[in-house]
């Protein structure tokens, strides 16, 4: 028998609960068992079930005075039920977070999603290289223009490419602002 089942069986419970389902959960038994206990003289009523009294009732019902004494000693040594409930809730939240993380990792492995950092790094490298290549165009084309308009065309082309790069940079900044 597992430790939690042994503790539930020995009656190491404190605090009060309002529903039979909570009694069943506290003692690690099925709801139907708690319902049978209620019909069989279990202390408490809907809205107020004292887990310590139920544990004493269970131990006394078994007719074992040593078990009753052990149950009382365990009750005094353990913190109140709300603390154990918070611990259970924290464990449940941790398991949910672990499951969500595992799902994200599975989707990553299946290439259905990509980390934003990888996208940002790629786009940064891409636009840096694009800007460098576009910036070289005016100088590379300059010799093919007639000498009388060479510098003016190179300057105009450079300005237009500069505006296009500035627009792309602005779009990138807006996109980055949305992702944060």
Q: Give the domain extent around 102.
A: 80-113
Could you read off the pLDDT of 38-47 as tens digits, one per residue? 887 888 888 8
- Note whether 154 and 139 are within 8 A (CB): yes
The verdict on 45 and 64 lying in the same domain is: yes
Residues 21 and 70 in one domain: yes
Number of domains in the chain: 3
pLDDT tens for each residue of 23-34: 888 888 888 888
Kindly state the helix (H) or strand (E) to which residue 50 belongs, with its residue range: strand 49-50
Q: Are residue 109 and residue 139 in the same domain, yes or no?
A: no
Domain shared by 120 and 109, yes or no = no
Phi, psi of 40 (to 5 degrees): -90, 15
Same domain for 68 and 8:
yes
Does residue 174 share a domain with residue 122? yes
| In a shared domain, residues 90 and 103 | yes
Q: What integer pLDDT is reported at residue 8 of this predicted model?
A: 42
- Both 11 and 74 in a single domain? yes
Q: Which of 65, 88, 113 is the last residue of a domain?
A: 113
Percentage of the chain lying above the pLDDT 70 cut: 77
């Amino acid at each position: 028998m597992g430790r939690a089942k042994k503790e539930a069986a020995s009656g190491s419970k404190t605090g009060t609960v309002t529903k039979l389902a909570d009694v069943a959960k506290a003692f690690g038994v099925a709801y139907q068992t708690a319902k049978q206990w209620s019909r069989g003289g279990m202390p408490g009523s809907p809205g107020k079930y004292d887990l310590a009294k139920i544990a004493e009732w269970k131990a006394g019902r078994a007719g074992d005075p040593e078990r009753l004494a052990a149950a009382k000693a365990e009750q005094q040594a353990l913190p109140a039920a709300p603390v154990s409930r918070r611990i259970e809730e924290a464990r449940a939240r941790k398991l949910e977070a672990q499951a969500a993380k595992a799902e994200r990792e599975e989707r990553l492995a299946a290439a259905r999603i990509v980390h934003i950092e990888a996208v940002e790094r790629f786009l940064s490298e891409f636009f840096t290289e694009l800007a460098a290549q576009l910036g070289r165009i005016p100088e590379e084309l300059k010799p093919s223009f007639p000498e009388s308009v060479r510098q003016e065309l190179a300057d105009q082309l450079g300005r237009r490419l500069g505006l296009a790069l500035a627009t792309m940079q602005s779009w990138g900044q807006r996109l980055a602002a949305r992702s944060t």
